[in-house]
Structure 1
Amino acid sequence: MGIHAVTGSASGMGAATAAVLREAGHTVIGVDLRDADVIADLGTAEGRAAAVAAVLEASGGVLDGVAAVAGVGPSLKDAGAVASINYFGPTALLDGLRPALARSAAGRAVVIGSNSASTVPMIDQTLADLLLAGDEDAARTHARAAQAGVPAELAAASPSISAYATSKFALARWVRRTAVRPEWAREGVLLNVIAPGAVVTPLMLGATGRAEDLDADAFPTPMPLGVFGTPEDIAFWVHQFLRPEARFTTGATLYVDGGTDAAMRPDGQPTALTLP
């Protein structure tokens, strides 16, 4: 059995992932702001460094898997914090833990993205570029300034919707670029993204309201299956990506969204390669 670190382990998809891994016999090192083995704020550079150090100590410097689940939703009022937590939190943590994953016989890492990266038409390319360039201070400043442009009808429930979608967009790009680098791919460390859709978690309910009031047929985005997802639906696929047998997939994004992305962008994938 392996040793896995799971961020956001105190609730929602993180808690479900930790439970599935423990049930399978693995040792889980939970990371969260509370009720976890490692208490850390992944929204700050200091918190990320502390989390990496604590996970390395708890694991003995060898990790079989990392599930970077922690994140915040578009209902958070501070768009700068959204950028820091959703992008720099997982990327810094994974960079710091990569050597420990490389020491495993089958290191695996999974990042929780979002189908908002491809279904919310509010991607801020400037913010995405700043995130991918690693300029956290500039990214936070820009995200806060751009927040004023969010339409009033959206701002009431989702004031950080653009920063949220953009942080998940940049995160998916980071994974795709990073997964194929020699220090990851040639070291046998596989890195993939799961892009959930409407999954009933505290994060989602922060923007949509009470669970009992949810109606798949009245939801703002298409719900082809007619049901909402559960944290366990995501945890299942996280577990699959973390298995040693998952040896030939890296740099991929798996949509676990009940068909929403396919319904909104039926021709969005595949994208044809064009020659100059």
Structure 2
Amino acid sequence: MGTFVVTGSASGMGAATAGRLQDEGHTVIDVDLHEAGIQADLSTPQGRADALTGIKAATGGRLDGVAAVAGLGAHLDDPARVLAVNYFAPVALLEGLRRELAVSGAGRVVVISSNSASTVPLIDEELVRIVLSGDEKAALERAGGRHIQLPDEITESAPSITAYASSKLALSLWVRRTTVTEDWARAGILLNAVAPGAVLTPLMRASTGRDAEPDPDNFPTPMPLGHFGDPEDIAFWAHQFLRPEARFTTGSVLYVDGGTDAAMRPEGYPSPMTVAPA
């Protein structure tokens, strides 16, 4: 049996993922703001450092995998904090745990992105560029400046939608860029992402402002299957990426969104590679 870290373990997709691993007999190091073995505020560098200290002490120097699930929603009126938790936290934790993941020779990592990275037309491309440069201070300042003008109805329900969608795009790009580098690929550490759509979690309910189950046929984005996802639908695929058998899969961004991205961008993915004219 292995040892795995799950962030955002107290509820939703994180709790479901931790449960699957525990049911298999694995040791789960659970990390969350509350109700977890390691309690830390991942929105701050100090909180991430505290989390890393606790995780490293619990691993014994060897780690089989990480499910970086913790995230904040677009409904929060603090875009800088949303960006910090959704991007800088998982990247800092994963970079800080690379050595422990390498010890096993077959480390597995899955992060939770979102189909918002490709279905929300409110991405701040300059923010994504700054985020990927690693300048957290500049990125948080940019996010707080709200450089993308939002319609009033979106401002009221999802004031941090630009920071949210931009953070998820940046995280997917970080996975794609990082997983093929020698430090990760040749150490046997595989990085993949799951991009959920409308999944009935506490975060989604808060983001949509609906306590009762929303109507899939009257939802802002298409729901081709006619129903929403459950946390277990995401946990299933997160668990697959963490299995030893997933040995030839790295750099993938798997959409688990009931067909929303396919309905909105039927020709958007895969996209052909183009060659610049000579």
Q: Specify the TM-score bucket, using the shorter chain as the normaliser.
A: over 0.9
Query: SS of the counterpart of 1:159?
Result: coil
Deviation at 1:212, TM superposition (A): 2.5
The one-letter code of the counterpart of 1:122 is L
**Is the 1:79–1:147 contact (alpha carbons within 8 Å) kept by the matching residues of 2?**
no
For 2:147 and 2:208, how far apart are their aligned partners in 1? 19
The one-letter code of the counterpart of 1:172 is S
TM-score (norm 2): 0.97
Deviation at 1:255, TM superposition (A): 0.3
What residue number does 2:142 align with? 142
Deviations 1:130-157 (A, max 9, x none): 1000111111111111267222110111
5+ residue gaps, structure 1: none
Query: SS of the counterpart of 2:241?
Result: helix
What residue number does 1:42 align with? 42
For 2:212 and 2:82, how far apart are their aligned partners in 1? 27
What residue number does 2:125 align with? 125
What residue number does 2:201 align with? 201
Query: SS of the counterpart of 1:5?
Result: strand
**Is the 1:179–1:185 contact (alpha carbons within 8 Å) kept by the matching residues of 2?**
yes
For 2:211 and 2:118, how far apart are their aligned partners in 1? 24
5+ residue gaps, structure 2: none
For 2:129 and 2:158, how far apart are their aligned partners in 1? 22
Query: SS of the counterpart of 1:254?
Result: strand
**Is the 1:147–1:160 contact (alpha carbons within 8 Å) kept by the matching residues of 2?**
no
What does 1:85-100 align with in structure 2 at a 5 Å threshold?
85-100=85-100
What residue number does 1:57 align with? 57
For 1:191 and 1:69, how far apart are their aligned partners in 2? 14
For 1:191 and 1:71, how far apart are their aligned partners in 2? 18
What residue number does 1:212 align with? 212
Deviation at 1:274, TM superposition (A): 1.1
Q: Does 1:187 align with 2:192?
A: no
For 1:195 and 1:223, how far apart are their aligned partners in 2? 15
Deviation at 1:223, TM superposition (A): 0.4
For 1:176 and 1:148, how far apart are their aligned partners in 2? 26
For 1:78 and 1:169, how far apart are their aligned partners in 2? 18
What residue number does 1:267 align with? 267
Query: SS of the counterpart of 1:149?
Result: coil
**Is the 1:40–1:48 contact (alpha carbons within 8 Å) kept by the matching residues of 2?**
yes
Deviation at 1:230, TM superposition (A): 0.4
Please identify runs of 4+ aligned residues in structure 1 that moved more than 3 A.
none
**Is the 1:73–1:203 contact (alpha carbons within 8 Å) kept by the matching residues of 2?**
yes
User: Structure 1 residues 103-112 or 147-156, which shifts more?
Assistant: 147-156
The one-letter code of the counterpart of 2:203 is L
Deviations 1:12-64 (A, max 9, x none): 11011111110011110000011111111111111111111111110111110
For 1:107 and 1:268, how far apart are their aligned partners in 2? 31
Deviation at 1:128, TM superposition (A): 0.3
Query: SS of the counterpart of 2:157?
Result: coil
For 1:137 and 1:105, how far apart are their aligned partners in 2? 34
Deviation at 1:70, TM superposition (A): 0.2
**Is the 2:175–2:191 contact (alpha carbons within 8 Å) kept by the matching residues of 1?**
yes
Q: Percent identity?
A: 62
For 1:213 and 1:9, how far apart are their aligned partners in 2? 23
**Is the 1:42–1:85 contact (alpha carbons within 8 Å) kept by the matching residues of 2?**
yes
**Is the 2:40–2:48 contact (alpha carbons within 8 Å) kept by the matching residues of 1?**
yes
For 2:34 and 2:104, how far apart are their aligned partners in 1? 28
Deviations 1:165-219 (A, max 9, x none): 0000001000000000001000000000000000011111112133434000101
What residue number does 2:19 align with? 19
